[in-house]
Amino acid sequence: MTGSAPAVTERHFMSAKVHKTQWAGTAPAAADRPKRADVEAAFRTIIQWTGDDPERDGLIDTPARMARAFAEFFSGYAQDPVEILQKTFEEIEGYDEMIVLRGVRFESHCEHHMAPIIGQAWVGYVPDGRVVGISKLARVVDIYAKRLQIQEKLTAQIANTINDVLKPQGVAVVIKATHNCMTTRGIHKPGADLVTSRMLGCFRDNPLTRQEFLSMTA
């Protein structure tokens, strides 16, 4: 038993690496994706596995509904956050103070259990000559949220993308969220939330700037 453990670990590690490579960025080409009928068949199998009858009246359309729901939950793979941030405005009269979009609600799913992660994001940046429409910041949150996630990665992806595309003086992202995989299953701790943050540029270098931002997330 102890002899086989390292092999399993290594295999798991390798498959995780392959997975990451394939799914970096956006979804694979449409032709490589399973057909809708295959997805519905998989959901029928899951219903059967729970112990219920997928053919009974109340459940007969459930696999189709689940497929539509999952298409919405994971619609972020089909959208490009870099493209969303392309249109910027440069007539800003030298505005160089902090811009903070507060309490953006989002729904995501954890990549370990596909259980909901419900939370809010605070997104701030200090522009360097150009700004982006504020709704675009919320769109970036949504695009990354509507993928399989862990909160730490979601936080970093939002901050890194804004930083890479807008090239501002700094970016700050704070996320507070509850994870259904720990509130409704497993350890069962309702009421607990997870707070993550990523600070770049002036938010990382200047404690006063960081503090000003964090005071808006309290």
Site for Zn ion, rule CB under 5 A: 110, 112-113, 181
Instruction: Name the token pair of 97.
Output: 């103070």
Closer CB to Zn ion, residue 110 or residue 177? 110
d(CA 43, CA 31): 21
The closest of 128, 136, 124, 125 to 92, measured between CA atoms, is 128
| Min dist. Cβ of residue 92 to Zn ion (A) | 41
**DSSP at 102:** E
Query: Active-site residue 113, yes or no?
Result: yes
Closer CB to Zn ion, residue 113 or residue 130? 113
197 in Cβ contact with 155 (< 8 Å): yes
Point out the catalytic residue in the list 79, 113, 120, 212: 113
d(CA 81, CA 123): 15
Which residue is closest to Zn ion by CB? 181
Closer CB to Zn ion, residue 147 or residue 210? 147
Query: Active-site residue 110, yes or no?
Result: yes
End-to-end C-alpha distance for the chain, whole angstroms: 49
Closer CB to Zn ion, residue 111 or residue 212? 111
The closest of 106, 103, 102 to 118, measured between CA atoms, is 106
| Min dist. Cβ of residue 180 to Zn ion (A) | 8
Point out the catalytic residue in the list 151, 157, 169, 202: 151
| Min dist. Cβ of residue 150 to Zn ion (A) | 8
Query: Active-site residue 112, yes or no?
Result: yes
Return the active site residues.
110-113, 151, 179, 181
